[in-house]
Chains A and B, each alone.
Chain A
Amino acid sequence: MSRAAVAKTYKLYLGGAFVRSESGRTDPIGGVNVPRGSRKDIRDAVKAARAAAPGWAKKTAYNRGQVLYRFAEALESRSDGSDEYGEAVDLLVHYAGWTDKLAAVMGGVNPVAAPFLSFSSPEPTGVVAVLAPDRPDVLGLIREVAPALAAGNTVVAVVSRSSPLRPLDLGEVAGVSDIPGGVLNLISGRLDELLTPLCGHRDVNAIVDATSDDSVAATVDELAAETVKRVSRPTPYTDSLTRLEPLVELKTAWHPVGT
């Protein structure tokens, strides 16, 4: 008698937990019922991301690098051997090494014309909404999520609409990678339903729109304008520093020197 495989129920990765959509809805994709995330799921995810933000931002850059590297290790062991997984792992390794270089590359001491210690250093912008491309489903997601996490932000990502299964599996990889609950949240569903609650959310600070969809761009930008969110539109070829820049805030501190 042949063995029956254990069918997997795919779930959202939200606040460090694997949950069904609050709406109870699913969409059949590739013969599997995939959770169809709702407005409430987005709200829950942003709330979790906001709650996790101070802790993640406060970790040392060294520690964040270790966690991202651990993510790479965990993904490597789940790799299907394809180029896509290999590239995704390599990207995680690359950004793991960015965490403690950002300040040196983007900031520094400002030689002001007065007796002050003035320096500028990058800080995370806060909660980042990621609209991942439809494909490549895994690499496309990692490419946008890794810089946001490396810069110390927490993330709410809408994964590939056409092939959400492998991206949702990344939650399981993240979950064993010491990424604290709430730092990375993965939601599947329909973009037309999720765009407004996510990009219009007052507690989201920046949006990475990697959909390459012109019809989405105008809507995203208009929603962003309500609370002056930063919007970036990286292409697959955008270099890593150009990805990182819109996800940090440069803070300049001044302190008198001498009397």
Chain B
Amino acid sequence: MKWDYAPAPESRDAAPLKPRYDLFIGGKFVAPTDGTVVSTVNPATEEVLAEVAFAGPGDVARAVEAARAAAAGWAALPALERGKYLFRIARLIQERSRELAIVETLDGGKPIRESRDVDVPLAAAHFFSYAGWADKLSYAFAGRAHEPRGVVGQVVPWNFPLLMAAWKLAPALATGNTAVLKPAETTPLTALILAEIIEEAGLPDGVVNIVAGDGSAGAALVRSDVDKVAFTGSTAVGKEIQRALAGTGRGLTLELGGKSANIVFEDAALDQAVEGIIEGIFFNQGHVCCAGSRLLLQESVAEEVVRKLWARMERLRVGDPLDKNTDVGAINSAEQLARINDLVAAGEREGATRRSVACELPEQGYWFAPTLFLDVAPANRIAVEEIFGPVVSVTTFRSPAEAVERANNSAYGLAAGVWTDNGAKAFEVASKLRAGVVWQNTYNKFDPTAAFGGFKESGFGREGGPAGLAPYVRFAS
């Protein structure tokens, strides 16, 4: 049966965009001296949203200098005072939450439901939680003598622009570092609104510098005179960065790609599991490093789960990201859409059976219908490579041991899901999975108090919780 829904669009009035956003260096918004000004577009409509200044290498160097100049003063601030600035930022994010959610959705294409209920509240929560760590660091570090690293360079991806900025900045500032943050090429706007918030919060000049730019700005930042680099993005770029820092002694943490297994056992509550599968792979159009993109179904229930999953997929609402009822929004960029198309074509070529939801996609913008692959062989590209799109590949298994073996058969090790009503089995399987996060009977849950990060080629270091503080300090030795 086809259901029609009345549109329920969020108003854009609550988020007036400026015509142009400049670089935020040394506490001021400044024009690029050797960078350029580019347009940022709404991936759902291809409409130009604003002009954004992109940093050139000289601009990046200026930002690092500003952070360097501010470092000693910020580190010397009493810890409670440092924390108070972070509390202010958390509060201002909450005050401007509606505006931030709308802009996040406009610039990135994700459903407003997600930016409103997940991205923005979690960003505020990270600042709030880490604010309280500022004066409790000696407890986090089990009594070890510690000092800030100094200036940190942080490069964040386009899938969670505001949230990733919060993940990176909050622990860096709490531990007494100053920062240069480079948001992603296609989604710079909310990080630049965060720069406005940081200005409004009255942080000392240069403590946080935010410079939009493309990959070359990121490359310039990680190769600059910073004391620590934190990167979230693809494994390929992460390896480049690790190589670029070889022998320099600079700190490095990497949050890289994933190809996470979502394992459903026959004794799981199947309807609940189906919701978890949907959440696992269609949250943020699958633009999630920990997306449950490899669905492993126990053979005895595989057909039933696929039937229920497909029925659920057909009811997903794909379209206007600003509509409050939209489940799946726009693909972030033309480039990303091309990558998804390429991998999906490879899946078909290699013999997997493709099923895509027959939804009407808007004519403008970048869209991809929720897609399921059956008859997938473990060596197929779609089962091995990160697609970063609304595409799930299904394979089956017979025993828990086989499920674990298949789940672990990956160069990645970021996350996994386990669905079973047997508690002992859930914890046993979780303990055997080589992944940094294991969700049991749930998926894609995040919290500032809970460590997040990968095993193997999904990167090293953790974000969240006390573990997220350690990479930002040097221990006396």
Chain A interface (Cβ < 8 Å from any Cβ of B): 105-106, 110-114, 116, 118, 120, 125, 205, 214, 217-222, 224-228, 230, 233-235, 237-239, 241-242, 245-246, 249-256
Contacts and interface: CB of A to CB of B under 8 A. Distances in A.
7 contacts: A120-B450, A205-B456, A221-B242, A221-B246, A228-B239, A239-B477, A252-B438
Given A118-B450, A222-B246, A239-B477, A255 B426 contact: yes
Contact of B477 (A221, A230, A242): A242
A116 B451 CA distance: 14
A106 B243 contact: no
A222 to B, nearest CB: 4
A120 B457 contact: no
A228 B238 contact: yes
B455 A222 contact: no
Given A120-B465, A217-B247, A110 B440 contact: no
Contacts of A234: 477
Contacts of B435: 251
B41 interface: no
A112 B436 contact: no
B467 interface: yes
Interface string B243-286: 10111010000101000000000000000000000000000000
Contacts of B450: 110, 112, 118, 120, 252, 254
A220 B238 CA distance: 16
A237 B475 CA distance: 11
A242 B457 CA distance: 22
A4 B411 CA distance: 56
Nearest to A119: B450
B29 interface: no
B249 A217 contact: yes
A221 B239 CA distance: 11
Contacts of A222: 243, 246-247
A250 B468 CA distance: 11
Interface string B430-455: 10000111111110010101111101
Contacts of A230: 460
| Chain A contact residues: helix, strand, loop or mixed | mixed
B470 interface: yes
A100 to B, nearest CB: 15
Contacts of B254: 228
Q: In the A-B complex, list the 7 residue pairs whose CB atoms are closest, starting with the nearest.
A: A218-B247, A221-B246, A225-B242, A112-B447, A110-B450, A225-B243, A238-B477
B474 to A, nearest CB: 10
Contacts of B438: 251-254
Contacts of B427: 253, 255
A174 to B, nearest CB: 26
B125 interface: yes
A125 B423 CA distance: 25
Given A125-B455, A253-B438, A255-B423, 15 more contacts: A110-B451, A110-B465, A113-B447, A114-B445, A120-B451, A120-B465, A220-B246, A221-B242, A227-B457, A228-B242, A239-B144, A239-B477, A246-B460, A249-B455, A252-B464
B477 A250 contact: no
Given A113-B125, A241-B142, A250-B462, A120 B467 contact: yes
A255 B242 contact: no
A101 B477 CA distance: 21
A237 B477 contact: yes
Interface centre among B246, B453, B475 (most CB of A within 10 A): B246
A219 B435 CA distance: 28
A230 B460 CA distance: 7
B142 A105 contact: yes
B477 A116 contact: no
Interface in B394-442: 411, 423, 426-427, 430, 435-442
Given A113-B125, A120-B465, A237-B477, A252 B459 contact: no
A205 B458 CA distance: 12
Contacts of B249: 217, 233
A241 B470 CA distance: 11
Contacts of B453: 250
A228 B430 contact: no
Contacts of A111: 449
B235 interface: yes
A196 to B, nearest CB: 14
Interface centre among A106, A118, A241 (most CB of B within 10 A): A118
A242 B427 CA distance: 29
Contact of A228 (B447, B449, B456): B456
Given A113-B125, A242-B477, A228 B460 contact: yes
B451 A252 contact: yes
Interface string B45-69: 0000000000000000000000000
B460 to A, nearest CB: 5
Given A221-B247, A242-B477, A252 B452 contact: yes
Contact of A254 (B144, B239, B411, B440): B440
Contacts of B238: 228
B430 A114 contact: no
B430 A106 contact: no
A116 B247 contact: no
Contacts of A233: 249
A214 B457 CA distance: 25
